[in-house]
Structure 1
Amino acid sequence: MPSRRGFLAGLLAAGMAPAASWADLGSPAYLSAGKAADGSFFLAGLSDLGTLLFSHPLPGRGHAATAHPTRPIAVAFARRPGRFADVIDCRTGAQLARLGPPAGHHFYGHGVFTPDGSLLLTTENHFEAGRGIIGVWDGTAPYRRIGSFASGGIGPHDMMLRADGTGLVVANGGIDTHPDSGRAKLNIPTMRPNLSYLDFDGQVTEQVELDAQLHKNSIRHLAMQTDGTVAFAMQWQGDLGADVPIVGLHKPGSAPRLMAADDPRLRNLNGYGGSIAFSTDGQQVAVTSPRGGVVQVMDTTSGALTTEHHLPDVCGLSQSADGFIASSGSGEIVEIAKGRLSVLNQAELRWDNHLIPVI
């Protein structure tokens, strides 16, 4: 019988070696940026129980990431307004490329591969023109920029593939910024956030805005259900004296629904939705607020706020097998299931804004 080494050598010689996959890394369930105790920044892969499987350095604070659909490659995005997107071989930690936006642009911290992994798409601000842009990059080496198209609004932040794989949904937050003004928001009185559904060639197929009195509710983060329903988390830019809705649902072809709109506990979110996720069965949607230190869980049928869990500086959120998994700036990874919060892991580091599912 040939040895395993000889067998693999034969495959290599024949060009038939098995392709590397996420399974080679222990099948990580989530990606998250973080900050170590020594002040360095990193991108990490986590198991479904919050166990650290790998960690690779970043040049600065990260925000979100995206995983290649088949290969163990991730792209880590700088916190907005950012100018790096590192393409990382998660097996070795090798930096395959460092992407930078064109002159006059900055990244907004999010991006996504197309379903076949052939393209990488990035949310960007063309700050000189005051327009939202989706950057288009080759999804394979050398990861060069090959085009762009309009995002359908101002301030595109999060972006997801549509459930049917035919295009994108973009959270256009509506806020105009410029690097010369730091993180100052330049158009609050006139902002008009929207959800834009786009084909991969940039054609807008549907666009949704909230009622005029909610025009200061910046649409920022997204989650997608298998039937195409989109959950969106908002960040209120007005007076916090009112109990404004922070979570909405939208199914293409229908009007948006605002969740828990009359529940006084909304004020505990402090006007800020940090991350959003559906449960696996789609019956619940959850939102985090690092400013409020809470996770709120809502029923997608009734729209009611069903449970609230307190965790300081909680922001990262994704679905788990039984409910939700969340991360905090104090290094905790917790699960929220069956109405209870339980700690899965605790580390001496600071998790950043998002827990991104690998597949």
Structure 2
Amino acid sequence: MPMAIEPKATSVRLNRRDWLSQAAIAGLSPWLAGTALASQTASPTNTLIASWQSPNSNHIGLIDVDASQWRISRSLALPTRAHGLAVEGSGSVLALARRPGDWLLRWQPSTGKTQWQWIEGDRQFNGHVESSPQGDTLWTTETNLETAQGLLGVRERNSLKKIAEWSTQGMDPHALLVLPQSLGQIPAGSLIVANGGIPTLPETGRVKRGLDRMDASLIALNPHTGAVLGQWRLADPFLSIRHLAWDPVSRRLGIALQAEHLDSAQRLAAPVLAVWNGEQLLPATAQPSLRGYGGDICALPGGGFAVSCPRADTLALFTSAAVWRQNQPHRQVCALTEQRNQLWASGQDGVLSMTTPPTISVVSSAANAERLQFDNHWLNFN
């Protein structure tokens, strides 16, 4: 996916605060409800929460998808690109800035109310946030910029303020989830964190350096104390562990991988999926070249995993045992989500819908929708 070049963190933080204060002084509301982009007559069958880039701005918002088209029904302007999203029980949405990020946002789409939290100067957000099942705690993946070591920020739910930090025992922590069921010796409710393993320095931003020191891992932490319950690594040290999805049918965890090999042939042939069974990480087998880049992952209706591969313009489908099944072409596919036996995938040509039994369709945007590019993740909002 095209990646924007990030300015240095200090100037970005000042500019982002300026963006918010200037909007308030000017009496501008970045929240749009029922804008001209929304159809007044269509009856949506599903609503997604997504983030996207338009030619001159970044947004988060609600996307209504029906059998014939998709449209924006609510949107909020952002200072920079968002990445990870979470939906709270109250109907509010959490969004975290794309790494290296410095803002955490809570947005209530029904009212437009926003709540912002900025990170400390010697820390950066790494793009993902998760809420505890009890709803009283938030966890954010972060990096200590002085040591490049990964952290989980433990935050009070109402204020968004950090109350503790736990080590992730690695570098570049990215996605995380709460384990829904016990797996192997790891109990249900444990925190599962993807340590991407790529060294991070404040002066280089998203530029990758020191890949010979990569140390990607999957780690399980006690959700109350941060104590390590287990840690697993792949045999190939150049596979970065990025995104996670739970398959309730097989009771397996799917992991989207991104290859960082210096040799281009190795990188292009690398697996984009690994599966964790509670005891070991199993990389994909029988997979054709997918250009070594898994953008997002979700469970398939009926079991198994779908991995978006935007550099290969395809949605790759795998069994729960990490065996490749087939590719579904979809240009610049990236964001994925699944609910009630239906999968949605973003792409250049529209929103791809896949149901069980297999029925595939692609719906385009409403005629008056501006051209935009969806970011890496979206979620069901229904």
Task: Tell me the TM-score normalized by structure 2.
Answer: 0.78
Q: Which amino acid aligns with 1:247?
A: L
Please state if 1:170 is matched with 2:193.
Answer: yes
Which among 341, 352, 366 is matched to residue 322 of structure 1? Answer: 341
The residue that corresponds to 1:202 in the other structure is: 226
- State how far apart, in whole Å, the 1-side matches of 2:178 and 2:167 are: 16
1:286 aligned to which of 306, 312, 331: 306
55, 62, 67: which is aligned to 1:45? 62
CA distance in 2: counterparts of 1:42 and 1:167, whole angstroms: 32
2:277 is the alignment partner of 1:256: no
TM-superposed CA distance for 1:185, in Å, is 1.9
> Is the Cα contact below 8 Å between 2:178 and 2:190 reproduced in 1?
yes
Aligned: 1:120 with 2:138: yes
Q: Secondary structure at the match of 1:186?
A: coil
CA drift of 1:103 comes to 2.2
Aligned partner of 2:272 in structure 1 is 246
Question: Do the aligned partners of 1:326 and 1:335 also contact (CA within 8 Å) in 2?
Answer: yes
- Alignment pair present for 1:215 and 2:232: no
Deviates more, 1:330-339 or 1:240-249: 330-339
Q: What is residue 151 of structure 2 aligned with on the other side?
A: 133
The share of aligned pairs that are identical, in percent, is 26
Q: CA separation of 1:295/1:281 partners in 2, compared to 1, >3 Å: closer, same or farther?
A: same
Distance 1:129 1:139 in 2: 27
| 5+ long unaligned stretches in structure 2 | 1-43, 182-187
Instruction: Tell me which residue corresponds to 2:211.
Output: 188
Cα 1:281–1:207 shift into 2, 3 Å: same
CA, structure 1 residues 113+48, in 2 after alignment: closer, same or farther (shift >3 Å)?
farther
What is the root-mean-square deviation of aligned Cα atoms in Å?
2.2
Aligned to 1:107: 125
The offset of 1:324, in angstroms, is: 2.1
- Write the deviation string for residues 138-180 of structure 1: whole angstroms up to 9, x where unpaired: 111x322211111121100111111145221100000011121
d(CA) in 1 for partners of 2:222 and 2:273?
25
The match for 2:323 is: 304
- Indicate the larger mover: 217-226 or 41-50: 41-50
Q: Deviations over 1:164-215 (max 9, x none)?
A: 452211000000111211322222112110000111121111111011xx10
> How far apart, CA to CA, are the structure 2 residues paired with 1:135 and 1:305?
36
Unaligned runs of 5+ in 1: 1-25
What SS does structure 2 have at the residue aligned with 1:179?
coil
Are 1:64 and 1:356, in contact at CA under 8 Å, matched by a contact in 2?
Answer: no
Would you say the 8 A contact 2:351–2:364 is kept in 1?
Answer: yes
**Deviation digits for residues 280-302 of structure 1 (CA, Å, limit 9, x no counterpart):** 432x211011222111111224x
C-alpha deviation, 1:47, in angstroms: 4.7
Per the alignment, residue 179 of structure 1 pairs with 202
CA distance in 2 between partners of 1:100 and 1:88 (Å):
15
> What is the deviation of 1:41?
1.4
Q: Is the 8 A contact 1:30 1:47 kept in 2?
A: yes
Q: Is 1:72–2:94 an aligned residue pair?
A: no
Deviation at 1:345, TM superposition (A): 3.9
How far the C-alpha of 1:228 sits from its partner, in A, is: 4.5
